[in-house]
Amino acid sequence: MSAGLLLLTMAACGLVTFLIRLSFIAFGHHLPDDPRIALTLRYVPPAILGALIAPEIFVLNGQFTADVANPRLWAALVALLVAWRGRSVLATIAAGMLALWVVQGFFA
């Protein structure tokens, strides 16, 4: 793939993303004012976050693994517990990273 084609593709993706976000800003007042829509939209960020994080946890070396020897799985469980109990993003990240380093040292 040439550099020009790559830059053009990146610019097109950026433009599409911008237009999607602009459509909600410019035309959002035309959406129905239904509380069910607002309730449904509350689940979008956790769904996207889960879709971004799951491959990082369960895919190692191109293979799906849910084995107990997967250090990322243990670190994710620790981070999930800290997030649930503490509700602190910084503490969740710190605990997850610390757990990953400890578990990687244990399984190495």
* pLDDT tens per residue, range 45-70: 999 999 999 999 999 888 898 888 88
Determine contact, residues 50/74, Cβ cutoff 8 Å. no
Per-domain residue ranges of the chain: 1-31, 34-107
Determine contact, residues 58/52, Cβ cutoff 8 Å. no
Determine the pLDDT at residue 98.
97
- With 80 as the cut, is the pLDDT of residue 1 above it? no
Alpha helices (H) along 28-88: 35-41, 44-58, 71-86
